[in-house]
């Protein structure tokens, strides 16, 4: 990974002589007001890498408790590499984008197996690790190793678009080259880690998507959007369609005081997480009619439907999920999975060791309420 020289994509009317003053103002502002965040108190590339992975499309206030727990449990690459993936998922539970956790775990094992147990300081080697794209690579190399790589994330794009009235859409890959070229030109190569963090801090705390605090912005004097009173028009964005909705039917299969949890395959939607056995509903499917035969197909069990618990809905980042939940009684058979990769019979209230995805967590209170009703097939749960 190399920094390319200014390209034809870079706006020709930007005066590069202002860059030195802009960098100086930005850096001085950052030194005064930066938030005290744990990953800013270290130059450990592993700790910085973990923080940047967690911070992808996730707010700092959400990440903080996860970061502390994760670093306590896995303080270095070796501890993470030695862990089983389930324990990593469990610590990640609720943070979303579970592919990040799986890639981080796989990358740690690669580092320990082939890179001497140390996060590489070479862009080529770093980019071979699962989940390490241009942003993570630039962040780790600049912040941990002082290498001159400019980061471009959503916050940086917003700052750049307003500073220079960049017309490229911030939410399309076709516009990334312009943002990267601009960030490369603006980078303070004498202290790239400080500069990158300052740009991201400005976007996160001052140059907000809505109602930016321009009166408190150290770069307002340089900002073309502020000067033209058009901050609300930048960055440009292409309107995207609404979130896709998935519809599932799930069964809480009861047997001898326990219910069945199954684990999704590691790849794909919500990969590696645990749930009640479930299948996707197609348009026109009747969940009531589909439940028993579908569950028998994926678990190998003969079951009898007892009652409808309800419809549980949950919005993930990239899709919405609606799940019809039924309580079913086991009648015969041993678990033979077709689809899920693992299964366990679990007592109510004992799900804490499983990494469950959001809609399952949301369904649990309703299921517990059903368990405590005086229903003959469910008395064993009381």
Q: What are phi and psi of 352, to 5 degrees?
A: -60, -25
Which residue ranges does the chain devote to CATH 3.90.79.10? 244-381
Is residue 357 exposed (0-12), middle (13-18) or buried (19+ Cβ within 10 Å)? buried
Assign a CATH topology to domain 16-233: Endonuclease III; domain 1 (1.10.340)
Which residue ranges does the chain devote to CATH 1.10.340.30? 16-233
Measured between alpha carbons, how far is 156 from 348 in angstroms, rounded to an integer? 46
Closest CA to 201 of 10, 32, 20: 32
Measured between alpha carbons, how far is 10 from 185 in angstroms, rounded to an integer? 9
Catalytic annotation on 52? yes
- Residue 369: CB partners within 8 Å, gap ≥ 6? none
Assign a CATH topology to domain 244-381: Nucleoside Triphosphate Pyrophosphohydrolase (3.90.79)
Please give the helix or strand (H or E) that residue 29 lies within, else none: helix 19-33
Query: Token digits for 263?
Result: 């684990």
pLDDT tens, residue order, the chain (382 aa): 333 333 334 454 566 678 889 999 999 999 999 999 999 999 999 999 999 999 998 899 999 999 999 999 999 999 999 999 989 999 998 888 888 999 999 999 999 999 999 999 999 999 999 999 999 999 999 999 999 999 999 999 999 999 999 999 998 888 899 999 999 999 999 999 999 999 999 999 999 999 999 999 999 999 999 999 999 999 999 887 777 888 989 999 999 888 999 999 988 888 888 999 999 998 888 999 999 999 999 999 999 998 888 888 888 777 888 889 999 999 999 999 999 999 999 988 888 888 888 888 888 877 776 666 644 443 333 2
Closest CA to 324 of 357, 296, 378, 363: 363
DSSP state of 28: H
Asked if residues 189 and 19 have their Cβ atoms less than 8 Å apart, the reply is no
Query: Token digits for 80?
Result: 């993470």
Which one is catalytic: 52, 93, 275, 324?
A: 52
Q: Would you report the helix, strand and coil content of the chain in percent, each value rounded to 5? A: 45, 15, 40
Question: Quick check: pTM over 0.95?
Answer: no
């Amino acid at each position: 990974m190399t920094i390319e020289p200014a390209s034809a994509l870079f706006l020709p009317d930007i005066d590069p002589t202002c860059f030195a003053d802009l960098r100086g103002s930005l850096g001085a502002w950052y030194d005064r007001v930066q938030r005290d965040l744990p990953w800013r108190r270290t130059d450990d590339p592993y700790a910085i890498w973990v923080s940047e992975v967690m911070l992808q499309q996730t707010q700092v206030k959400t990440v903080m408790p996860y970061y502390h727990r994760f670093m306590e449990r896995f303080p270095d690459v070796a501890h993470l590499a030695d862990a089983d993936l389930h324990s990593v998922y469990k610590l990640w539970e609720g943070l979303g984008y579970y592919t990040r956790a799986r890639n981080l775990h796989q990358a740690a094992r690669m580092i320990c197996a082939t890179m001497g147990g140390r996060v590489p300081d070479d862009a080529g080697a770093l980019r071979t690790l699962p989940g390490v794209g241009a942003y993570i690579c630039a962040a780790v190399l600049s912040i941990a190793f002082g290498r001159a790589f400019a980061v471009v994330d959503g916050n940086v794009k917003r700052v750049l678009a307003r500073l220079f009235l960049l017309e490229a859409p911030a939410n399309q890959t076709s516009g990334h080259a312009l943002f990267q070229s601009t960030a490369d030109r603006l980078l303070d190569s004498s202290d790239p880690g400080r500069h990158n963090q300052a740009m991201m801090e400005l976007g996160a705390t001052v140059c907000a998507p809505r109602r930016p605090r321009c009166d408190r912005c150290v770069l307002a004097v340089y900002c073309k959007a502020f000067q033209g009173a058009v901050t609300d028009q930048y960055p440009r964005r292409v309107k995207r369609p609404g979130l896709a909705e998935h519809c599932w039917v799930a069964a809480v299969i009861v047997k001898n005081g326990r219910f069945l949890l199954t684990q999704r395959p590691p790849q794909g939607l919500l990969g590696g997480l645990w749930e009640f056995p479930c299948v996707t509903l197609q348009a026109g499917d009747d969940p009531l009619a589909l439940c028993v035969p579908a569950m028998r197909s994926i678990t190998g069990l003969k079951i009898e439907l007892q009652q409808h618990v309800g419809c549980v809905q949950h919005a993930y980042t990239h899709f919405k999920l609606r799940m019809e939940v039924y309580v079913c009684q086991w009648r015969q058979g041993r678990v033979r999975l077709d689809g899920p990769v693992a299964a366990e019979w679990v007592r109510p209230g004992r799900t804490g060791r499983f990494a469950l995805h959001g809609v399952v967590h949301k369904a649990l209170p309703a299921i517990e309420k059903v368990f405590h009703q005086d229903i003959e097939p469910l008395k064993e749960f009381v």
